[in-house]
């Protein structure tokens, strides 16, 4: 039922890949075509939805055609939009399809150089200008036009495309830079195989040839791609891998692969044995198979830790945690790729815990001090390890004049326009571009402005960015409280937890809907809604009513309460159940071989989305509790312990 509202596609298709997660229609159009919302007072009520004009519909059709790189259609539609207000986007949607083929690969033979140059000159310093530069860099890289690429690359503000980074590394290599330095930077860039496009696939073999990477390092990168089922990319990057068949087998049936490799492992050299045991361990661990620990212990004895993929390294730590092998936890984190280790505060926390459990409190506390000022799940746990309460910082207030000034910002006006038209990806791009370089105080003013115009997701996103001055009432807003509070009180549902869940589910977007049909503030599935409506006697329920805020909150709250009671009043299990379905946390609990502390159970949830979801919901609930009641239950107490228990079938959907 949970949706990921921070999805950001990479590569040439990024501007046209609206997340499959959301299909939204929000707000009022802040332009001459519709009345601008009143920003003088905050309210939980929603402004009336904007009705699309015929020109708007053509513009959306143009955007969709541009996604498909349908050149004839974009030419035809753009010609009908000569007087449309968003001239820059119309031009962009007309030019971009000529730069990429139907498979979204950059075309080296693109013939729009003059048009792109004029566009970049006209719209320099804008969000859509930076998007065009991203696309243009992919074309220049495809052409191997390094002189022009090197002139354009420093102007790419966001610099958030892995393939552009790989082309930049290719350019450095062609300029005879030290290949080993380029190789080191490549290992920092190429962490997530989902973004190993053609540029990265070309880079690695070139680095091997130039002695910037070893063949073993290249195979490791290719293997990481193969582990995620990108086998073609894996072969292009790493060449023939002696354990390719084991990777494929482990992905499909890790238990059988574990048994088979236990008999055949001596046929391989020690490096390949270690890599194979690591891969087998990863896929066993994702199924919570107890043999994962044995596989990782064998890998540990053979060494070669830096050549493990990021997924394999992270699951090695989780497996050691489930076994309460604190020495292996420490050793595994110490051998992690530094980039992998630093990107998630989990590894700092668990590194500190390993020292604590092994009797070195001084080194443990040094790690916890690194996290204590972070406002997240592991920041809260670290504070408790240091015997400090979870707190919220003092509220910084901004004035009305500062807030009203934000309403004059062109990026925000453009974003509101796009949100009203259901173009959320474009709206987020414009909103976030406007936030660049803002001080904390300006960010708070922008967050308050978003709240006043009912863009609660932008309120949260913007307030979350402050570093030294904060307003947690904006980070953790409570719209719809008059509706939600009586529901929660009636069924004795913790209001802070319910808000923590809604913040994660929908960011308070009333008509959010997912690709699988979940709807509204609490992202309730239609079949679940029917079940709950019947259980609570809501005889007038129809699926159409799930869009009503009151109905959505009622059904979602009752369902959350049902899974809580069904799962022994455990917030950990119930939060996981709300996201992944009740049967899954039951099966995860069943696979425990000992009573396990809640934090370790959460860390070893097999689904990345659900694991992140549970951490965020519980951390959110702590801050909501402080804001509402001035106090909160310690996180460790809330997490509790999870005991093994045979799964019992439930009628809950």
| 609-620 per-position pLDDT tens digit | 999 999 999 999
What's the farthest any 2 CA atoms get from each other in the chain? Answer: 74
- Give the separation between CA 511 and CA 98, rounded to whole angstroms: 35
Does a structural domain hold residue 356? no
pLDDT single digits (tens) 364-378: 999 999 999 999 999
Over residues 269-326, the pLDDT tens digits come to 999 999 999 999 999 999 999 999 999 999 999 998 889 999 999 999 999 999 999 9
- d(Cα 304, Cα 325) in Å, to the nearest integer? 20
Residue with tokens 């919901």: 617
The enclosing H or E element of 469 equals none
Q: Which of 16-20, 28-32, 148-152, 508-512 is predicted most confidently?
A: 148-152
- Phi-psi region for residue 538, left (φ > 0), alpha (ψ -120 to 50) or beta? beta
- Residue 441 pLDDT greater than 90, yes or no: yes
Q: Which of 43-57, 244-258, 420-434, 521-535 has the lowest mean pLDDT?
A: 43-57
Region 411-435 average pLDDT = 96
Report how far residue 574's alpha carbon sits from residue 158's, in angstroms, rounded to the nearest whole number: 38
Q: Quote the pLDDT of residue 515.
A: 74
Domain count, the chain: 2
The predicted structure's pLDDT at residue 483: 97
Angle between helices 424-435 and 410-420 (to 10 degrees): 160
* Phi and psi based region of residue 8 (left: phi greater than 0; alpha: psi -120 to 50; beta: remaining): beta
Region at 300 (left for phi over 0; alpha for psi -120 to 50; beta for the rest): alpha
Contacts of 7 (CB under 8 A, 6+ apart): 19, 21
Give me the pLDDT at residue 156, please.
98
CA distance 463 to 452: 14
Residue 110, pLDDT > 60, answer yes
Confidence of residue 645 (pLDDT cuts 50, 70, 90): confident
Query: At 352, is the pLDDT very low, low, confident or very high (cuts 50, 70, 90)?
Result: very high
- Determine the pLDDT at residue 513: 80
Paired tokens of 622: 């702590």
What is the distance between the alpha carbons of residues 544 and 585, in angstroms, rounded to a whole number?
Answer: 30
- The enclosing domain of 578 has a CATH number of 1.10.530.10
Beta-ladder partners of 513: 519
For residue 623, being part of any structural domain is answered with yes
Confidence at 46, pLDDT banded by 50, 70, 90: low
User: What are 347's two structure tokens?
Assistant: 């590894």
Instruction: Let me know: does 4 contact 21? Beta carbons within 8 Å.
Output: yes
641-642 vs 596-597, strand pairing mode: antiparallel
pLDDT at 101: 97
SS3 label, residue 192: coil
Query: Phi/psi zone of residue 359: left (φ > 0), alpha (ψ -120 to 50 degrees), beta?
Result: left
Which pLDDT score, from 0 to 100, does residue 29 have? 31
The predicted pLDDT at position 647 comes to: 62
Residues 502-514: b if buried by 16+ CB within 10 A, e if exposed: bbbbbbbbbbbbb
Residue 612 lies in a domain: yes
What is the reported pLDDT for 48?
61
pLDDT band at 641 (very low <50, low <70, confident <90, very high): very high
> Is residue 239 in some structural domain?
no
To the question of pTM greater than 0.75 for the whole model, the response is yes
Q: Which of 136, 160, 184 is the last residue of a domain?
A: 160
| Coil vs helix vs strand at 433 | helix
More confident residue, 14 or 382: 382
pLDDT digits (tens, 9 = 90+) for 468-523: 999 999 999 999 999 999 999 999 999 999 999 999 999 999 878 887 889 999 99
Q: pLDDT at position 489, please? A: 98
Beta bridge partners of 34: 31
pLDDT at 36: 35
Among 143, 160, 177, the domain boundary falls at: 160
pLDDT number for residue 22: 35
Sign of the torsion formed by the C-alpha atoms of 246, 250, 252 and 258: positive
Q: Is 58 inside any structural domain?
A: yes
Question: With b meaning 16 or more CB within 10 Å and e meaning fewer, what string describes 83-115?
Answer: ebbbebbbbbbbbbbbbbeeebebbeebebeeb
pLDDT of residue 649: 62
Q: Give the tokens for residue 194.
A: 């989902």
Among 135, 160, 185, which residue terminates a domain? 160
Once rounded to an integer, what is the mean pLDDT over residues 614-635?
97
The pLDDT value recorded for residue 4 is 35
Give the per-residue pLDDT at 648. 66
Provide the pLDDT for residue 646: 79
Q: Is 216 inside a domain boundary?
A: no
Flag whether 465 is in a domain: no
Mean per-residue pLDDT over the chain, rounded = 92
Q: How far apart are alpha carbons 397 and 399 in whole angstroms?
A: 7
- Residue 23 clears pLDDT 90, i.e. is over it: no
Count Cβ atoms within 10 A of the Cβ of residue 175 and give its class: 0-12 exposed, 13-18 middle, 19 or more buried: exposed
Separation of alpha carbons 223 and 466, rounded Å? 39
* Range scoring the smallest mean pLDDT among 44-58, 78-92, 305-319, 579-593: 44-58
| Percent residues over pLDDT 70 in the chain | 92
User: C-alpha angle with apex 143: 140 to 145, nearest 5 degrees?
Assistant: 60
Q: Within 481-570, where are the H helices?
A: 481-491, 495-505, 526-536, 549-566
Percent of the chain with pLDDT over 90: 89
Higher pLDDT: 33 or 626? It is 626
Domain membership of residue 118 (yes or no) is yes
Is the pLDDT at 44 greater than 80? The verdict is no
Q: In residues, how long is the chain? A: 653
CA 264, distance to chain mean position in Å, is 39
Evaluate if residue 228 carries a pLDDT over 80.
yes
* Both tokens assigned to 142: 């495809």
Range of the domain at 77: 52-160
């Amino acid at each position: 039922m949970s949706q990921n509202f921070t999805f950001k596609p990479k590569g040439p298709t990024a501007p046209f890949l609206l997340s499959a997660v959301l299909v939204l229609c929000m707000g009022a159009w802040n332009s001459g075509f519709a009345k601008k919302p009143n920003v003088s007072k905050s309210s939980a009520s929603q402004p009336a939805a904007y009705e699309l004009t015929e020109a708007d519909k053509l513009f959306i059709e143009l955007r969709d055609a541009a996604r498909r790189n349908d050149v004839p259609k974009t030419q035809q539609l753009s010609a009908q939009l000569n007087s449309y207000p968003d001239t820059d986007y119309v031009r962009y949607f007309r030019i971009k399809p000529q730069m990429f083929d139907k498979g979204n690969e950059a075309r080296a033979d693109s013939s729009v150089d003059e048009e792109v140059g004029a566009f970049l000159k006209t719209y320099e310093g804008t969000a859509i200008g930076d998007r065009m530069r991203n696309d243009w860099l992919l074309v220049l890289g495809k052409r191997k036009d390094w002189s022009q690429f090197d002139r354009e690359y420093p102007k790419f503000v966001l610099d958030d495309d892995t393939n552009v980074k790989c082309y930049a590394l290719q350019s450095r290599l062609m300029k005879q830079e030290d290949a080993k330095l380029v190789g080191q930077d490549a290992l920092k860039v190429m962490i997530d195989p989902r973004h190993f496009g053609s540029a990265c696939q070309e880079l690695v073999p070139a680095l091997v040839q130039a002695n910037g990477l070893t063949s073993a390092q290249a195979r490791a990168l290719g293997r990481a791609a193969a582990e995620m089922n990108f086998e073609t990319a894996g072969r292009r990057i790493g060449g023939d891998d002696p354990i390719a068949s084991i990777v494929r087998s482990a992905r499909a049936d890790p238990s059988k692969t574990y048994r088979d490799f236990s008999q055949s492992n001596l046929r391989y050299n020690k490096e390949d044995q270690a890599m194979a045991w690591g891969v087998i361990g990863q896929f066993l661990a994702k199924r919570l198979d107890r043999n994962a620990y044995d596989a990782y212990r064998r890998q540990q004895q053979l060494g070669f830790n830096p050549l493990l993929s990021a997924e394999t390294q992270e699951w090695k730590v989780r497996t050691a945690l489930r076994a309460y092998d604190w020495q292996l936890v420490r050793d595994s984190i110490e051998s992690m790729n530094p980039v992998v280790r630093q990107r998630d505060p989990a590894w700092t926390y668990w590194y500190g815990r390993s020292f604590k459990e092994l009797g070195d409190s001084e080194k443990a506390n040094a790690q916890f001090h690194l996290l204590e000022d972070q406002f997240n799940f592991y920041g809260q746990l670290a504070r408790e390890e240091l015997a400090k309460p979870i707190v919220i910082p003092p509220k910084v207030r901004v004035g009305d004049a500062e807030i009203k000034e934000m309403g004059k910002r062109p990026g925000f006006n453009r974003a509101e326009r796009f949100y009203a038209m259901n173009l959320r990806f474009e709206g987020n791009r414009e909103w976030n571009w406007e936030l660049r370089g803002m001080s904390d105080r300006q960010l708070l003013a922008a967050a308050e402005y978003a709240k006043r115009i009912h863009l609660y997701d932008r309120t949260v996103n913007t307030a979350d960015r402050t570093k030294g001055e904060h307003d947690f009432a904006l980070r953790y807003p409570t719209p719809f409280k008059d509706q939600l509070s009586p529901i929660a009180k009636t069924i004795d549902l913790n209001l802070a937890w319910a808000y923590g869940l809604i913040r994660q589910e929908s960011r308070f977007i009333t008509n959010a809907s997912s690709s699988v049909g979940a709807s509204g503030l609490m992202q309730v599935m239609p079949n679940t809604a029917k079940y709950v409506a019947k259980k609570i006697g809501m005889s007038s329920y129809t699926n159409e009513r799930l869009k009503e805020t009151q109905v959505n909150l009622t059904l979602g709250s009752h369902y959350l309460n049902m899974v809580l009671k069904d799962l022994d009043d455990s917030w950990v299990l119930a939060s996981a159940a709300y996201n992944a379905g009740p049967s899954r946390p039951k099966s995860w609990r069943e696979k425990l071989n000992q009573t396990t502390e809640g934090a370790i159970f959460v860390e070893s949830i097999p689904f990345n989305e659900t694991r992140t979801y549970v951490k965020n919901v519980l951390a959110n609930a702590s801050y909501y509790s402080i804001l509402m009641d001035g106090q909160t239950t310690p996180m460790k107490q809330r997490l509790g312990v999870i005991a093994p228990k045979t799964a019992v079938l439930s009628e809950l959907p």
